[in-house]
Amino acid sequence: MQAYEGFASIYDIFMGDIDYDGWVEYIKKIWEKDGKNPSLVAELGCGTGNITSRLAKKGYDMIGIDISEEMLSVAREKAFEEGDDILYLLQDMTEFELYGTVDSIISICDSMNYITEDEDMLQVFKLVNNYLDPKGLFIFDLNTEHKFKNMLAYNTFAETTEDAAYIWENSYDEEEKINEYYVNFFINDEETGLYERVEECHYERAYSLDEIKGFIKMSGMEFVAAYDAFTFDDVREDSERIYVIARECGK
């Protein structure tokens, strides 16, 4: 099953504790630190549009890109209800196409970890380089190997709400550097009152910062910085999430 296919309808319920407003403010600070004031921004792996919509409300022209039709359906419905003018595109990050260049590209909430093959990761960076305006920034975050090995691996998490529940099991392959998420969702059917069970299996890969720097260089961009998430501190061995910034070198 395609990642998030069954989860799309309840994704926002279980992600409700994430400080999306704080995440957006952090992205803005990164732009400001580099002297950037982008107008047109594309988000790769936008999901249900939680970051995309918040940036749109702050005056940025937004393009949201995601591989899940179901997630985009939720994003488009929210944009319609809230009056946001956002272009949402159903595309694979490894093959995305834009109508022209953009000022900045972002990818948040570990979407880049879902790319598990070197050639696919390099292709994403090449496409980003192609669609960025001269000196435009690519800002993205990553779950770290420390998080996979020491926080998630072989742990089980569960959560319930009035109308839904999930059980989330993790396993980490240290040789392949792949974390497998096996998730069971139980979603209430309002018409019947019964719960539908949906199973999904997701895979995220851990990348070292040196590997990421290599992809950035091979794509033709330049590495700018990497930070422990939501700070401007250096990446630590025990960082759970990091932010990486790359720059288009000038066409």
| Residue 172 domain boundaries | 147-205
Q: What is the pLDDT of residue 164?
A: 72
The rounded distance, in Å, linking the Cα atoms of 223 and 97 is 23
Token output for 10: 């309840």
Both 190 and 221 in a single domain? no
Q: Which two tokens stand for residue 21?
A: 């407003």
Q: Is residue 2 part of a domain?
A: no
CA 204/CA 75 separation, integer angstroms: 23
Question: Do 173 and 232 share a domain, yes or no?
Answer: no
Question: Within a domain: residue 231?
Answer: yes
Euclidean distance between CA atoms 119 and 43, whole angstroms? 21
Sequence-distant (≥ 6) Cβ neighbours of residue 238 within 8 angstroms = 146, 150
Quick check: is 15 in a domain? Answer: yes
CB count, 10 Å around CB of 98?
18
Q: What is the reported pLDDT for 194?
A: 75
Residue 111 lies in a domain: yes
CATH number, domain containing residue 73: 3.40.50.150
Supply the pLDDT for residue 11.
Answer: 53
Q: Please check whether residues 16 and 72 belong to one and the same domain.
A: yes
Are 200 and 211 found together in one domain?
Answer: no
54 assigned to some structural domain: yes
Measure CA 90 to chain center: 15
Residues 62 and 94 in one domain: yes
Residues 131, 52 share a domain: yes
According to the model, what pLDDT value does residue 62 have?
A: 98
CATH number of the domain that 186 lies in? 2.20.25.110
Residue 52 lies inside a defined structural domain of this protein: yes
163 and 86 share a domain? no
Sheet holding 40-44, edge to edge: 86-90, 61-66, 40-44, 102-107, 132-143, 241-248, 221-228
CB 52 within 8 A of CB 75: yes
Q: Give strand ranges (E) for the chain.
A: 40-44, 61-66, 86-90, 102-107, 132-143, 156-160, 164-173, 178-188, 195-205, 221-228, 241-248
Q: Report yes or no on 3 lying in a domain.
A: no
Examine the domain organization and report whether 92 and 46 are in the same domain.
yes
Whether 152 and 138 map to the same domain: the answer is no
Whether residue 155 contacts residue 140, with contact meaning beta carbons closer than 8 Å, is answered with no
Tens digits of residue pLDDT in 30-89: 999 999 999 999 999 999 999 999 999 999 999 999 998 988 998 999 999 999 999 999
pLDDT of residue 4: 46
Are 195 and 238 contained in the same domain?
A: no
β-partners of residue 109 are: none
* Structure-block tokens of residue 210: 């040196």
Q: Are residues 14 and 25 in the same domain?
A: yes
Could you say which residues of the chain have pLDDT below 50?
1-6
Q: Is residue 170 a contact partner of residue 154, using CB atoms and an 8 Å limit?
A: yes
Measured distance CA(222)–CA(249) in Å, rounded: 6
* 3-state SS assignment for residue 226: strand
**Calpha distance 227→218 (Å, rounded):** 21
My answer on whether 114 and 220 are in the same domain is: yes
The total number of structural domains in the chain stands at 2
